[in-house]
Structure 1
C-alpha cells in the first residue's frame, strides 16, 4: 500500500472528485479525514470507507471560517498525532457574465476556492513543518491555465492557486514538504451539468453542441473521470522526494498541453 498509515485530510470529500480521492487514499492504507460542510454526504463517505475495511472519520469543516478550520485541523492532529497529506479540493462555481456579476458572488467564489485553500494550508503547515514531512495537493482546473466565459471569479481563483502552490513549494522545501496542483479538464459532475445547461441557454445552442465544443481539443473527445484524478492524487501524495514540487499536472486528455 502506497499510503499505509498516512493521515490525509481531503476537503470537500463528501462527494465528487474529493470523494474519489478519499476512497483511493483509503484503499492505499491512509487514514482519511472527510472534511466537508455537508454532514450527510460527508458521513456517508466515511461510512462507505469504513464498511470496505478502510479507516475514515468525518469532520465538519467550513473552509471559509478561520476559527473552524484551525479547530478542525487541531482536532485531527490531536487524534492522530500527525497530518501527512492535505488535499485542497473543496470548490464552488458561479456562472454569470462578468458585467452582470454581483460583487457578493465574486467574493463567495474567491473565498471558497482560494481563501479556503490558504486557511487549510496554513493550519496544516505547522504540523508538517514540525514533522519535517508532508504533501499538499491543490485541485485546480484547466481554468488555472486559460480563460472561460461566464466564470470570472472561478478562473481568477484557480489561477491564483498556482501562485499559492508555488510559494508554498518554495517556503516549505526546507521542511521536506511538497506542494503541487492537479488541473483537471472537464469531468461529468452535477456542477458541470449546470454549466453546460447555462451556456446552452446563453449561447442559444444545444447542450450537445456545448459538450462537443468542450471536448473538441481533447485527443479522444472524452470527459475525464474521477479515477483519473484520484490516481494522480495518490501518485503525488506517495512521491518520495521534493524533486516533484511546485508543479501543475494537467489531466484532460490532451485538451490543454504545456
Structure 2
C-alpha cells in the first residue's frame, strides 16, 4: 500500500513504535512530522528518514494544548496539510491501586487521553476542510482486558476506544476515519521498564514476568515487533473508505482474540 505524498503527524515518534511507523510511512511514499517531547531525538529521527521535504521534527508535549496546536500548525506550514494522525505518545506507571499516587494517575491520563483529544481536535479542522483523513490511535490489548497494577493504563486505553468510536461517527461525513491499534507486549523501552517494576511488585523473577505475565497467553511466547505494528498502521492510513472505521485491530500473537 502507498501513501502517495500524504502527510502524517506521529506523536512519540523519536523512538519505539512511533519511529517504526514514521519510517514505514516514508518508505510507502508519505511525509511525516516526528512529534516528540525530546526535540533533539525527534530531530535526529527526522534526519534519519530523509530531508526536510520528507520528515520534520516537532517539539510536542501532547498534554499541552498550546504545544499541540503549534506543532500541528508547523506541520501544515511545512507540508500544506495533515492527512494522518497517529496518536502514539504514551507512558506506563504501575502500582497497586492503594499505593497509586494521584499525581501519577493524572500524568498518565493526561498523556494518553488528553493527548489523544488535543491532537485530534487540532488535526481534524484540516482534515474536515479537505474532506479526508485518518485518525489512528495507539491502544493496547489493555483496551479490551485488564491486568493487575495497571489501573490508570487500562482505564486510559479503554478510553481511547471510546474516543475513536466517537470520532468514527463524527468524522464520517467529512471523509475522516478513526481506528485503534491494540498491540500486545512490544519489546520497547516502555516494556523493558515494566519488567523489573512488575518483578518487584509481584515478588517474582524478571524471567517469570516475561514468560508468564507478558507472554503467557500468546500462542507462541513471542513479543510483538514494532514492524508488525507499523504494517497495520500503514493499512489503516492508506485504506480508502469508511468500510474500516471505528474498529480496534489487535496485534498480540493471539494473547487477546475478539
TM-score (norm 2): 0.97
Once the two structures are superposed, the pairs formed by residues 42-81 of structure 1 within 5 Å of their partners are: 42-50=42-50, 55-81=54-80
Equivalenced residue count is: 257
Map of 2:5 onto structure 1: 5
Matched position secondary structure for 1:135? strand
Q: Report how far residue 149 of structure 1 moved.
A: 1.2
Q: Contact 2:24/2:230 (CA < 8 Å) preserved in 1?
A: yes
Q: CA deviation at 1:62?
A: 1.2
CA distance, structure 1, for counterparts of residue 50 and residue 77 of structure 2: 21
1:181 deviates by 0.1
- Is 1:33 the equivalent of 2:33? yes
1:1-258 to 2 correspondence within 5 Å? 2-50=2-50, 55-213=54-212, 214-258=214-258
TM-superposed deviation, 1:75: 2.1
Q: Which moves more between the two structures, 131-140 or 212-221?
A: 212-221
Cα deviation, 1:36-91, whole Å, max 9, x if unaligned, reads 1101211111010017x981000101111111111221222122221110000000
Q: Residue deviations 1:216-250, cap 9 Å, x none?
A: 21111100000000000001100011100000000
Question: Does the 8 Å contact 1:139/1:183 carry over to 2?
Answer: yes
Deviation by residue 1:78-128 (Cα, 9 ceiling, x = unmatched): 222211100000001111111011111100000001100000000000110
Residues 67 and 73 from structure 1, CA distance in 2 versus in 1: closer, same or farther, beyond 3 angstroms? same
* Unaligned residue ranges in structure 1 (runs of 5+): none
The worse-fitting range, judged by mean Cα deviation, of 238-247 and 42-51 is 42-51
> Which stretch of the first structure deviates more once superposed, 93-102 or 124-133?
93-102
